[in-house]
Structure 1
Amino acid sequence: MADRMNRRQLLTRALALGCTAAASPVLTPVSFAALPGARRLVVIVLRGAMDGLDVFRPLGDPHLAALRPNLARENTPLLLDSFFALHPALSGLMPLWHAGEMGFVPATSTLYRDQRSHFDGQDHLEAGTAGVLPSALQRDGWLNRLVAQLPGAQARTAFAVGRERMLILEGQAPITQWSPGTDLDLSPQNRLLLSYLFDNDPLFAQAGQIALDMTTTGAAKDDDGDDIPAGSDAAGLGRYIAQQLLAEARIASFSLTGWDTHRDQHRALLPALTRLQDAILALRDGLGPVWGETTVMAMTEFGRTARENGARGTDHGTGGALLLAGGALRGGRAIGGWPGLADQDLYAGRDLMPLSDIRAYPAWAMRDLFGLPVSAIERHVFSGLDMGDNPHLFL
């Protein structure tokens, strides 16, 4: 034991000479967990507050045009039903909608209110908490707590694509993460030293070899020799995650940025929507028949203001939307009610009123996909949550 600890201390000091903090195996935007069974769950965190009113446009609400005189006319949407329409940048997902493999929940949110801080909002979303956020020493994420509740769950190597931390993955369950895209400025002697240390300590061997590969090839390799895609390549990321879900992994989570659209939203929203669509379609294509056992949940920290601002954008709001996809889904429908956009119906006179706690939908996914008891979910995963009635998300 003493010999192993000495090697680890030496490894830490050697890496500190040439590694940046972002190159360390820390919590990052994609992770996998190996679980028994066939069902798969993918959670996508949409950082920046996606405007659900634009992505799933409520054309049937008579007040929309007055609140958004410019945005309501931009980017002619695609009709989903007699009330809602889909942003045209997601047109590639229309076949999923018609096949019942895509749906959405309008007017949903975490219980975070009023301050409208991206950082706090994302922490509430990923921690799955209600009320005050836990302290820095006690914080863990709901996806990690899910893994901890599943009998037979094992750690699966996780590769981070990007540099943001993922609170949703922090916790007691052992999940390895990695952040590629950072150079290691190491001398040949240090490389030899690290290779020796890796050979003698399996715990660090895989992550260390990935780091060394990135310094010579510019791209990380996993243990099967496959490229780990850069974070900006959403389609490549989707294909890579699909490979892992076809193997041992059963749960994956990653984040996509670019949803903060204060100005020129009709243009600013397009790249983020394209990345989201690319990731989902790459998952579907890469999973093949396993898509029928897969559920994707794309969640954001809060919605945006019902009224457009003077810069033809929207500001931080409250009620948002949850996008669902996958072959296991009972889709082709809007799930939940609609609060209305009349002045008296808005939250604080400015935002879409949330009608549901967004935590209820992953909670029911845990119950229906993995057989976790409701009591365990409400006590150990989403403390204080009343799951309410089953929305029957799945076939």
Structure 2
Amino acid sequence: MTSPSFSRRAHLQQLAFGAGLAATGLLPARLALAAQAENTPSEQRLVVVLLRGALDGLSAVPALGDPAWAALRGGAETPTALPLDSTFGMHPGLAHLHRWYQNKELAVVHAVASPYRERSHFDAQQQLESGGERPFVLSTGWLARALQATQHSAVAMTPAMPLALRGADRANTWTPSRRPNKSQDTLDRIAAMYADDVPLASALAQAMAQQDKSMGAEPSTGAGLTVLAKQAGAFLSAPRGPRVAWLEVGGWDTHSQQTARLGRMLPALDEALAVLRESLSVHWATTSVLVMTEFGRSASMNGSQGTDHGTAGVAFVAGGQVAGGQVLTDWPGLGRSQLLDGRDLRPTRDIRALIMPIVQRQFQLSTGAMSDVLPGASQPLGNLWRA
């Protein structure tokens, strides 16, 4: 017969361990909501990562071989960049992405932008997420329209539904559960109550440490993004779970002290993407990951050692079937006469031409359906997938 003390100990250990798993996102409270069953789930998977605030593409992927680079941006960034080809390098904080590039599982798309040519984050994000030719001509998202045409499901790892998924009946949101904070006095009393029970005290301490680590992380940056990326991979790996996930990261508006800030943010993004891949496991082979931002930044640094709102920037496409190991660009050059308005990297590709082949591969849509998803978009970018 099991003793009452042993039964109580085992039960509370299970509760403490479960609390720790839920706090780290491994046992999500809203799993059933986010991972709706599909009638015919696709084997293809898609993850879209939006970098809100405008990533400086010339820092993430510097054009070291451009004749104007040394005068424009030469200095601390140049010697440490990881080589891509004779013209481009990669920020040293993107070590995982660089390895994917070397393994031909990551393609870089440079000098890319939406048709937007002003410098408002709000307007630029609205146009990028809606997929329109101008801000606010469309009220639903391009990803939502693709989902609606196919009745596939998606999950956004965000507290509120992003515009890109608005209009889709089978889109849901998910974020880690946040339990009400207990007073320190209450926690101290609980700890004292079980101080003499070593196994239970240890389990309780472990659970509280896991909860503190998870709750202390901002959901869109650093460790918080890693938690969301891991859970996104778990959702997409479920046999009848969603096949599309949306993540986003804020804080890329680097008007000041850009080098130091990107030195923290780019490695955090890199680590989260690596965790996403690990969580997907064997499904990486059928996954496409698109990383994009609303616009680029000024080619020259400002007086605060940052950059201002610009135009063209960089995007990344990764996955097991991506024709990686290449920088796809019609490079416009960085000479003063080559810059847009004498200040910005000139866009030579419409980002919707990059989105098109990714959507077509994921959803197998007809040409007519694609015109509804991305109205007015140009010819899709080629050479993006392995033969």
Range of TM-score over shorter length:
0.7 to 0.9
Runs of 4+ in 1 over 3 A off after TM superposition: 31-35, 69-73, 158-161, 178-185, 228-232, 391-395
| Offset of residue 164 of structure 1 | 5.6
**Equivalent residue for 1:168?**
164
Q: 1:48 to 1:132 in 2, by over 3 A?
A: closer
Q: Does 1:245 align with 2:251?
A: no
Please give the residue correspondences for 1:219-368 in structure 2 after superposition, counting only pairs within 5 Å: 230-232=219-221, 233-247=224-238, 248-368=241-361
Post-superposition offset of 1:59: 0.4
Tell me, in whole angstroms, the C-alpha distance in 2 between the residues paired with 1:128 and 1:286: 29
**Percent of residue pairs identical:** 36
Q: 1:90-139: per-residue Cα shift (whole Å, max 9, x none)?
A: 1122221111111110000001102x0111111111111112423xxx61
Structure 2 regions of 5+ residues with no counterpart? 1-33, 182-209
Cα gap change, 1:361 to 1:184, in 2 (>3 Å)? same
Q: Does 2:54 match 1:49?
A: yes
Describe the shift of the 1:311–1:69 C-alpha distance in structure 2 as closer, same or farther (beyond 3 A). Answer: farther
Distance 1:91 1:132 in 2: 35
Structure 2 match to 1:82: 86
Larger Rg: 2
Distance 1:344 1:231, change over 3 A: closer
Structure 2 CA distance, aligned partners of 1:393 and 1:177?
30
Query: For the residues of structure 2 that align with 1:381 and 1:147, how far apart are their CA atoms?
Result: 9
Any stretches of 5+ residues in structure 1 without a counterpart?
1-30, 186-216, 220-227
1:182 deviation in Å? 5.7
1:117 equivalent among 98, 117, 120: 120
**Residue 11 of structure 2: aligned partner:** none
Q: What is the TM-score of this pair, normalised by structure 2?
A: 0.75
Judged with a 3 Å threshold, the aligned counterparts in structure 2 of structure 1 residues 389 and 77 are, in CA distance, closer, same or farther, namely closer
How many Å separate the matches in 2 of 1:388 and 1:170? 24
TM-score normalised by length of structure 1: 0.74
In structure 2, C-alpha distance between the alignment counterparts of 1:171 and 1:264, rounded to whole Å: 39
SS in 1 for 2:53: coil
The 1:172/1:40 distance shift into structure 2, 3 A limit, reads: closer
> Could you give the per-residue CA deviations for residues 318-350 of structure 1, whole angstroms, max 9, x where no partner exists?
001111111121101101221101111111111
Q: Secondary structure at the match of 2:243?
A: strand
Contact 1:111 1:357 in 2 (8 A): yes
Amino acid at match of 2:172: T
User: Partners in 2 of 1:180 and 1:240 — Cα distance?
Assistant: 9
Cα distance in 2 between the residues matched to 1:331 and 1:263: 33
Offset at residue 177 of structure 1 (A): 2.0
Q: How many residues align?
A: 317
Q: 1:389 to 1:72 in 2, by over 3 A?
A: closer
The corresponding residue for 2:198 is: none
